[in-house]
A and B are shown apart, each in its own frame.
Chain A
């Protein structure tokens, strides 16, 4: 991965970490969302939920200390922090669907101005399945999308209407990209912040959905 791509991803992760409230339970998706764990605020208590069955997801262990009975949702050996606990899949998803999870952070293929999310398949091309994503997006109190603003080909991913099969309908609350922080309101998408390295014009141009732009936009 190029330094440029890595720094974009870190910027997204760092900004999302600021959104996590004190004393909260948070689920981070595989890939870019996982990076949020590197930026957790030191002055707040944030516990991570791992959908395969525990609360208190910790960092990967040192070489030689891996325990194959303790893995994250990507199957990678991890650790559990003091205060964590294990449970089975039924309980794990009761926590998710039952309104006990404060925030879920997920990647996206597309997201639209109604807060619809598509992130689990491109018919005929890429069909990994939804895993726990559909439950997470429906159940979490707050849904944050973490993604690069445009596709590899430079096409917008924030659309008036998703074209790919949906993961969930009208559940996204916040979109954080390398260029902008965008909040989903009942009347559409509101631009809240832009990155130091872009302009409002560039963000508007690279967003296919209509954006409500305030007179003054903060930077992150």
Chain B
């Protein structure tokens, strides 16, 4: 059984300078309540690992606009002008990572692997400073695993063991991030008893989840 907390209490464990993986793709599949709770808590100097910088007024973009993010590791910042401005002004460090490489680097960490060999980024700025290897005649870049202190996940339904179902295109980074963080918090819309989710339909196995954020009464 996992701890069931309000979003506000769930983010109490987060310290300044923490690294946080935030699932979601343009806010879809993103733990918006946890982000709001973290904003309210005032945590700062955060490193965020997330697919994109979202929108200025919604989700992870709000943390960026509020100046809480020291470093952003993302694949795309195109729809949040403030992210680009902060990067150009030197107020926030941004590491751009190809989206598939980002997913695999995160997965590697959660799966006990040191890194992954990918052809993505060869011949581009992405290859700078990275080791190249030839396997079976094909050249690859070595991309290292990426780990975080925390993960913010978003589920439609979660049981008390932390098994979670994530509907539709909300799945995106939820599973790999659950695996790769020291402490994964899943925000859920609905909480059900054990057995309330068909085991065939679990998106995130509860073994990866440390606490459950739910707005209802446990």
Contact = CB atoms under 8 A, between A and B. Distances in A.
Interface of A: 50-54, 67-71, 73-75, 80, 86-90, 92-93, 96-97, 116, 124, 127-135, 138-139, 165-170
Interface stretch (B5-13, B35-43, B164-172, B209-217): B164-172
Contacts of B122: 138, 168-169
Given A89-B99, A129-B75, A135-B100, A70 B52 contact: no
Given A71-B26, A96-B100, A165-B125, A89 B168 contact: no
Interface residues of B, number: 46
Contacts of B29: 69
B126 A134 contact: yes
A61 B25 CA distance: 19
Given A52-B172, A54-B168, A90-B107, A127 B77 contact: yes
Contact of A71 (B28, B87, B96): B28
Contacts of B125: 165-166
A90 B203 CA distance: 13
Looking at B98, B103, B122, the one whose CB has the most chain A CB atoms below 10 A away is B98
15 contacts: A69-B169, A75-B55, A86-B168, A88-B174, A89-B99, A89-B100, A89-B172, A89-B176, A90-B107, A127-B87, A130-B96, A132-B99, A138-B120, A139-B100, A168-B122
A138 B79 CA distance: 24
A127 B99 contact: no
Given A90-B175, A93-B99, A135-B98, 7 more contacts: A70-B28, A88-B203, A89-B51, A97-B100, A97-B119, A134-B121, A135-B99
